[in-house]
Amino acid sequence: MNCKSVQNRLSAYLDRELGGDELLVLRAHLSTCRECREELDGLRALKSLLGGVPCPEPPDDLSDKLTASMLKLRYEEPRKLFKVSAFMFAGVAACSMLGTLVALNYNLNRSGRENSAMGMGNMANASRMDLPTYADSHVSPIISASNFGPR
């Protein structure tokens, strides 16, 4: 470990956030390097300074103001709940309408398909009418009856 990588770890070392080999290697380097030791001392002094900065006192009425804010929120809550309910109602109504539209569309498509299928059937029957009579034995009695009429 060179001086640069040691110095990058000095804050973590100071905060006891290093462990294992990293810690051992760093300690070994510090025992032989004066420059890194001085850097460590500088950071230690700074840490001590920052930790000793007095905590500013809050205004006397801050606690009361905060409690008043909470009370205000308490009275806002039912209105907020109503807003959510209104949104939920609108969402449910929109979903219902969409569902109805989809169902209608499905039914329309289905009946359209049935109609076209019937049309296809007629066409098939129509073409079958042109078939030669040797196929008579293979067609169903219904088809043969409907297409070829009474014999």
**DSSP letter, residue 131:** S
What is the smallest separation between the CB atom of 97 and other proteins, expressed in angstroms? 32
User: Which of these segments, 29-37, 63-71, 107-115, 138-146, binds other proteins (CB under 8 A)?
Assistant: 63-71
Copy the structure tokens of residue 54.
Answer: 């007095």
Q: How many residues make contact with other proteins (CB under 8 A)? A: 36
Q: In this structure, are residues 47 and 14 in contact, taking their beta carbons and an 8 Å threshold?
A: yes
What is the smallest separation between the CB atom of 59 and other proteins, expressed in angstroms? 7
Considering the rule CB under 8 A, would residue 43 count as an interface residue with other proteins?
yes
Contact string (CB under 8 A) for other proteins, positions 112-141, x = contact:
------------------------------
Beta-strand runs (E) in 93-150:
none
- Give rounded-to-5 percent helix, strand, coil for the chain: 80, 0, 20
CB nearer other proteins, residue 39 or residue 139: 39
Copy the structure tokens of residue 1.
Answer: 């470990």
Residue 39's alpha-carbon distances to 36, 81, 88, in angstroms, are 5, 58, 62
Residues lying near other proteins in the complex (CB under 8 A)? 8-12, 15, 17, 41-51, 53-59, 62-63, 65-67, 69-71, 73-74, 77
